[in-house]
Copies of this chain bind each other. A is one copy, B any other.
């Protein structure tokens, strides 16, 4: 079970779900496992993660899942294309989100700074997805897992002397579906990295990265 880390996340006074009309940025609470939206849903909003981790995924005809992205605190996600969601989205851990408009001019009054914020976030998202493409297309299983751990540790990790501790909010299946692998292969890669002395595992979820530099070397080493 995921023990939520309390460090570093933005604190908010408002713990309520209700949308207050006087506020520009209504927040939303999402319990673990709850679905925010489905692929194909109509939607004109985007979300910014205040706390928690979300999973964006698509399911294929044959029932296999591709995790398109994980959304960490600070990330903006949910960009609709032609007013439709292109992925499913659910919460891996209890999460809090800020809801923002993603309406285009012509649909009504849109503020320029809102639009710019949307554009900037979308551009950032494109950069992230290109990284993901590099991982999927050009890496071995070991390299993929190393790259994944490196990224996650930068987003969720806590310094622990030389090491970095991370409490993974997602299971092996999610990691596999993100990297285009099977859970068995991910598990073997974890074991491999552990036996190389690069990481250590408390539970399966709690990872210590003992040698971040070596991890990055493996991740880069296409």
Complex contact B130–A126 (CB within 8 A): no
Complex contact B126–A104 (CB within 8 A): no
Q: In whole angstroms, what is the CA distance A118 to B68 when docked? A: 23
Q: Is the interface of A mostly helix, strand, loop or mixed?
A: helix
Which of A60, A126, A132, A179 has the most chain B CB atoms closer than 10 A to its own CB? A126
Interface residue A119 (Cβ < 8 Å from any Cβ of B): yes
- Which chain B residues border A62 with CB–CB below 8 Å? 221-222
Complex contact A119–B115 (CB within 8 A): yes
- For the complex formed, measure the closest distance between the CB of A194 and the CB atoms of chain B, giving whole angstroms: 25
- Which chain B residues border A81 with CB–CB below 8 Å? 123-124, 126-127
**Nearest 5 pairs of A and B residues by beta carbon:** A137-B180, A60-B222, A122-B122, A136-B136, A81-B127
Show 17 A/B contacts (Cβ-Cβ < 8 Å), sorted by A. A60-B220, A61-B221, A62-B222, A64-B138, A66-B134, A66-B137, A66-B138, A68-B130, A80-B123, A104-B119, A104-B120, A115-B119, A119-B119, A122-B126, A129-B129, A132-B133, A133-B133
Residues of A within 8 A of B (CB): 58, 60-62, 64, 66, 68, 79-81, 86-87, 104-106, 110, 112-113, 115-116, 118-120, 122-127, 129-130, 132-134, 136-138, 177, 179-180, 220-222
